[in-house]
């Protein structure tokens, strides 16, 4: 079963979810991600122990996921930007109630209804919590088909391990693209380690409560610190980024997802004409891979952040590098997908300002 297959991005996520023991999916139609919902409908229909529900709303879908997660299932929902806004109430509850779940956001143009073109406008929403309250979501950003599979598998593992919601950020382009992929081995959910907190009826044990209301301010403070300690632990454990041609680089582009693919194409072009430029591609957006940025900034003092928005991740880069380096930003919002040539021009103009004579 481990042969390479050619599949579109959304289907890769769906197939990997099922192979990762996901037995509950609820979703609501919104472009661009409907193919994932449709794939889950078909894939779960083939299982004896799975449930697919086309919910009446994004809100209902995420709340069904809350219920399925309380019952111990690996559960997933997916949507695109405006729908993710609606799910934020539920995501805040998942975080507060410490329930695992996987949420896929195929980002589209915004704010408001925007359009269905690929963007990265939801970086703040995803990495800053999104819903109300002092919490974080683990946020993973794949850029290649194989990564869609690998990250989807990891997302379910992280969700269970840290009992917290995990978001996978993609866009319509990644959802549609077809590349070869090798799927991970299927997991039988019955063979996953038992969860000590599941609500399945208090048979032979005291009854359990899963809740987020904590009226006593001292206890609510302690709950927040408990979440904080968990997030600090996650920060230590999860720091994911790819570095590409950074060893000798004088300028490093920082980009994730589709933007990183474009940046890589641009870097190949400028390398051809001798510019020493590399790429740092965060895979975990929260936690932001600060350690990897730190390491890179020991050798590189100039960075270009490229995003498909007006500048969001650049704030995390600034925080991580504490202004020890020069940080430039280039972004196109609204669904404009730059070409590698366009980014190559931006890189070249920045590069020559400083490095022409040295080289």
Partner 1 sequence: MTAQLVFKRPRYLKKTVFHYCPGCGHSIIHRLVAEVIEELGIGEITIGVPPAGCAVLAYDYFDVDMGEAPHGRGPAVATGIKRMLPDRIVFSYQGDGDIAAIGTAETIHAANRGENITVIFVNNSCYGMTGGQMAPTTVVGQESTTTPGGRDIKRDGAPIDLSEMLALARGSVYIERTSVNSIKNIVKTKKALTKAFKIQMSGLGFSLVEILSPCPTNWKLSPLDSCKWIDETITQTFPLKVIKDETIKTEL
Q: Is 88 in the site for partner 1 (CB under 8 A)?
A: no
Q: Is 341 in the site for partner 1 (CB under 8 A)?
A: no
Report residue 285: phi and psi, to 5°.
-90, -35
Does residue 102 interact with partner 1 by CB under 8 A?
no
- The stretch among 72-80, 133-141, 232-240, 282-290 that binds partner 1 (CB under 8 A) is 72-80
- Verify binding: residue 26, partner 1, rule CB under 8 A: yes
Neighbours of 204 (CB within 10 A): 5
- Rule CB under 8 A: choose which of 55, 181, 251, 263 binds partner 1: 55
- Nearest CA to 144 out of 37, 245, 262, 252 is that of 262
290 binds partner 1 (CB under 8 A): no
Of 10, 63, 119, 239, the one binding partner 1 by CB under 8 A: 63
List Cβ neighbours of 255 (8 Å cut-off, separation of 6 or more). Answer: 262, 263, 279, 281, 305, 306, 307
Contact characters 147-186, partner 1, x per CB under 8 A = ----------------------------------------
In a 10 Å sphere around its CB, with 0-12 CB exposed, 13-18 middle and 19+ buried, how is residue 220 labelled? middle
* Interface with partner 1, residue 220, by CB under 8 A: no
Tokens of 15: 């197939």
Out of 4, 47, 57, 248, the only residue in the binding site for partner 1 (CB under 8 A) is 57
Under the criterion CB under 8 A, does residue 353 sit at the interface with partner 1? no
Residue from 47, 133, 186, 208 touching partner 1 (CB under 8 A): that is 208
List, in sequence order, every residue forming a beta bridge with 177; answer none if it has no partner.
none
Binding window for partner 1 (CB under 8 A); candidates: 13-21, 59-67, 133-141, 169-177: 59-67
CA neighbor of 116 nearest in space, from 167, 172, 77: 172
Contact 257, 120 (CB under 8 A): yes
Provide the minimum distance between the beta carbon of 190 and partner 1 in the complex, in angstroms, as a whole number: 13
137 binds partner 1 per the rule CB under 8 A: no
279 binds partner 1 (CB under 8 A): no
Rounded Cα–Cα distance for residues 181 and 16 (Å): 11
Between 90 and 278, name the residue whose CB sits nearer to partner 1.
Answer: 90
Residue with tokens 């050619």: 6
227 counts as binding partner 1 under rule CB under 8 A: no
Q: Which stretch binds partner 1 (CB under 8 A): 20-28, 255-263, 300-308, 341-349?
A: 20-28
63 or 297: CB nearest partner 1: 63
Residue pair 138/130 in contact (Cβ under 8 Å)? The answer is no
Inter-residue contact 94 to 167 (CB < 8 Å): no
Helix axes 9-19, 34-45, angle to 10 degrees: 40
Which strand (E) or helix (H) includes residue 200?
none
193/267 Cα distance (integer angstroms): 44
Using CB under 8 A as the binding rule, whether residue 87 contacts partner 1 is answered as no
Quick check: 93 binds partner 1 (CB under 8 A)? yes
Q: Does 329 bind partner 1 (CB under 8 A)?
A: no
Binding site for partner 1 (CB under 8 A): 23-24, 26, 51, 53, 55-57, 59-61, 63-73, 75, 89-90, 93, 97, 199-204, 207-213
């Amino acid at each position: 079963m481990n042969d390479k297959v050619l599949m579109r991005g959304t289907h890769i996520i769906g197939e990997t979810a099922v192979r990762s023991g996901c037995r509950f999916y609820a979703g609501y139609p919104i472009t661009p991600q409907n193919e994932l919902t449709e794939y889950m409908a078909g894939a779960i229909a083939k299982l004896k122990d799975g449930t697919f529900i086309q919910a009446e709303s994004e809100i209902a879908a995420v709340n069904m996921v809350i219920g399925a997660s309380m019952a111990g299932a690996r559960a997933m929902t997916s949507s695109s930007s405006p729908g993710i806004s609606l799910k934020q109430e539920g995501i805040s509850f998942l975080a507060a109630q410490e329930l695992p779940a996987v949420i896929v956001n195929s980002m589209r143009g915004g704010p408001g209804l925007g359009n269905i073109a690929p963007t990265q406008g939801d970086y703040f929403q995803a990495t800053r919590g999104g819903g109300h309250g002092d919490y974080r979501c683990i946020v993973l950003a794949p850029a290649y088909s194989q990564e869609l599979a690998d990250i989807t598998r990891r997302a379910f593992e992280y969700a269970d391990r840290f009992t917290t919601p995990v978001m996978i950020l993609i866009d319509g382009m990644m959802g549609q693209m077809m590349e070869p992929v090798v799927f991970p081995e299927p997991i039988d959910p019955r063979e996953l380690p038992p969860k000590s907190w599941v609500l399945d009826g208090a048979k032979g044990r005291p009854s359990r409560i899963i809740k987020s209301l904590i009226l006593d301010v001292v206890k609510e403070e302690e709950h927040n610190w408990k979440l904080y300690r968990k997030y600090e632990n996650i920060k230590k454990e999860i720091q994911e980024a790819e570095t590409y041609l950074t060893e000798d680089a004088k300028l490093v582009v920082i980009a994730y997802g589709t933007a990183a693919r474009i940046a890589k194409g641009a870097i190949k072009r400028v390398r051809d004409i001798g510019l020493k430029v590399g790429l740092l591609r965060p895979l975990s957006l929260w936690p932001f891979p600060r350690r990897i940025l730190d390491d890179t900034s020991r050798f590189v003092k100039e960075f270009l952040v490229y995003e498909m928005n007006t500048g969001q991740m650049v704030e995390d880069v600034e925080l991580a590098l504490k202004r020890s380096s020069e940080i430039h930003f280039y972004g196109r919002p609204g669904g404009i997908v730059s070409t590698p040539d366009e980014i190559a021009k931006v890189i070249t103009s920045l590069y020559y300002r400083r490095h022409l004579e040295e080289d």
